[in-house]
Amino acid sequence: MSQAKTNARQCAVQALYQWQMSGNSLLRIETQFLEEEMLKGAQKTYFSELFHGVPQQLDVIDAALAEFVDRPVERIDPVERAILRIGVYELINRLDTPYKVIINEGVNLAKHFGAEGSHKYVNGILDKVSQKIRNVEIAIKQGKVGN
């Protein structure tokens, strides 16, 4: 995975966190990120896809999460919630990115931004969601779908 995409995910976590906490418009937050050059080194198109895609598909994403989390989605720590929402968005929409890469990126984001140990929580939830959403890909990787 490219560093520019990793940087885009990091910026998207920060922007979604801000959106969740402030209620400001997506455009206002995105403009702030662009004006303050917070997207340097990030793939801007991927940042934009994640940052706009998560709110657009929030009901679908949160429904996928609700099946596997131990509390209402809105009560999950806001940083972890932003990371999980990005991960689920990618699992659903970015079939070009292997599920293991998406989980690994989520774990790394949690290590970078989350509370101590939050990466274990993120890993567990994204793994369960991927088992449901990417079950065919996982079966192929495990050699369970034959010729």
pTM of the model: 0.93
Q: What is the CATH classification number for the domain harbouring 113?
A: 1.10.940.10
Single-letter amino acid code for the residue at 52: H
Which residue did the predictor score with more confidence, 14 or 139? 14
Residue 143 has a pLDDT of 79
Residue 147 lies in a domain: no
Spatial contact of 46 and 8, defined as CB atoms under 8 Å apart: yes
The number of residues in the chain equals: 147
Residue 126 lies in a domain: yes
**pLDDT tens, residue by residue, 47-95:** 999 999 999 999 999 999 999 999 999 999 999 999 999 999 999 999 9
What dihedral do alpha carbons 36, 38, 42, 43 form, nearest 10°? -40
Residue 23 confidence (pLDDT) above 70: yes
Residue 80 lies in a domain: yes
Residue 145 lies in a domain: no
Domains in the chain, number: 1
**Residue with the two structure tokens 């940087």:** 7
DSSP state of 69: -
Residue 146 lies in a domain: no
Residue 93 lies in a domain: yes
Residue 55 lies in a domain: yes
23 is in which domain, residue-wise? 3-140
Residue 98 lies in a domain: yes
The CA radius of gyration of the chain, in Å to the nearest whole number, is: 15
- The total of other beta-carbon atoms located within 10 Å of residue 144's CB is 10
In 3D, which of 121, 56, 146, 128 has the Cα closest to residue 93? 56
